[in-house]
Amino acid sequence: SQKIEQNSEALNIQEGKTATLTCNYTNYSPAYLQWYRQDPGRGPVFLLLIRENEKEKRKERLKVTFDTTLKQSLFHITASQPADSATYLCALTVPNDMRFGAGTRLTVKP
């Protein structure tokens, strides 16, 4: 069956450290993979998109990698700040569909 698994429900790290979130998928061949941030009671907000033929994408303190052989994407936040605390969702784009993972709740402690 098709699955999208994000590494853990919750991740706690210290301010200034790098947060690494994982998105693994099975039985999909996504053309694109996106990462969204969601704060409590709010809708998801787009962060980064990476295409199947791209290995890595960066935006400010954010970096995403996409390994179609391992069927995995890694999302990194460097020099993390308490304001980065939120739930992060990965989303796979396949023809005519977009599927979301359950998300990882990141808490950055001062």
Partner 1 sequence: DAGVTQSPTHLIKTRGQQVTLRCSPKSGHDTVSWYQQALGQGPQFIFQYYEEEERQRGNFPDRFSGHQFPNYSSELNVNALLLGDSALYLCASSFLIDTYNSPLHFGNGTRLTVT
Binding site for partner 1 (CB under 8 A): 4, 9, 31-32, 34, 41-46, 49, 51, 89, 91, 93-103
Q: How far is the CB of 24 from partner 1 (least distance, A)?
A: 14
Q: How far is the CB of 22 from partner 1 (least distance, A)?
A: 15
Q: How far is the CB of 1 from partner 1 (least distance, A)?
A: 13
Q: How far is the CB of 96 from partner 1 (least distance, A)?
A: 6
Residue number with CB closer to partner 1 (20 or 38): 38
Residue number with CB closer to partner 1 (15 or 39): 39
Residue number with CB closer to partner 1 (74 or 91): 91
Interatomic CA distance for residues 30 and 45, integer angstroms? 20
Residue number with CB closer to partner 1 (32 or 62): 32
**SS3 readout for the chain:** CCEEEECCCEEEEECCCCEEEEEEEECCCCCEEEEEEECCCCCCEEEEEEECCCCEEEECCEEEEEECCCCEEEEEECCCCHHHCEEEEEEEEECCEEEECCCEEEEEEC
